[in-house]
Amino acid sequence: MQWAQKHHEIVRVYLYGSRARGDDRADSDIDLATVMDAPDTDKAYSMWSGFKSHFDEAPDLHLSSAVHLEWYEKNAGLEKVGNGVEKDGVLLFERQIEKGD
């Protein structure tokens, strides 16, 4: 999850779908859901779109399976992603927030 670590706007990344459930096949895609933290929704969506295009258009990643990067925000009307994350999501990355005293 080095790409997530590099971008402070990414708070969490979940694996969901068949790979998270363990019923994947060799040709199954990789479903990732990201939780973003940005000053406003438009900025967060713009950043997420850039991350998504990185996975969609980067043959240099040498991945054997397609990666679907999805936006995840509770109560945002994204039932398919939300249900998948809530049901069988596996937390792959969580940013550690340092609290200042």
Are 92 and 10 in contact by the 8 Å Cβ rule? The answer is: no
**What is the rounded average pLDDT of the residues 64-87?**
67
> pTM for this one?
0.73
Does residue 100 lie within any of the structural domains? Answer: no
Strand pairing report for 67-71 and 30-36: parallel
Nearest to 67 by CA among 54, 82, 85: 54
> pLDDT tens across 10-64, in order?
888 899 889 999 999 988 888 888 888 876 777 777 777 777 776 666 555 555 6
CATH code assigned at 84:
3.30.460
Total count of domains within the chain: 1
Identify the pLDDT of residue 101.
46
Q: How confident is the model at residue 76 (pLDDT cuts 50, 70, 90)?
A: low
Asked if residue 19 belongs to a domain, the reply is: yes
The whole domain housing 87 covers 2-94
Q: 74 in a domain, yes or no?
A: yes
Could you say which DSSP state residue 38 is in?
A: -
Q: Does 101 reside within a domain?
A: no
Asked if the structure places residue 44 within a domain, the reply is yes
52 domain residue, yes or no: yes
Of 63, 71, 67, the residue nearest 29 (C-alpha): 67
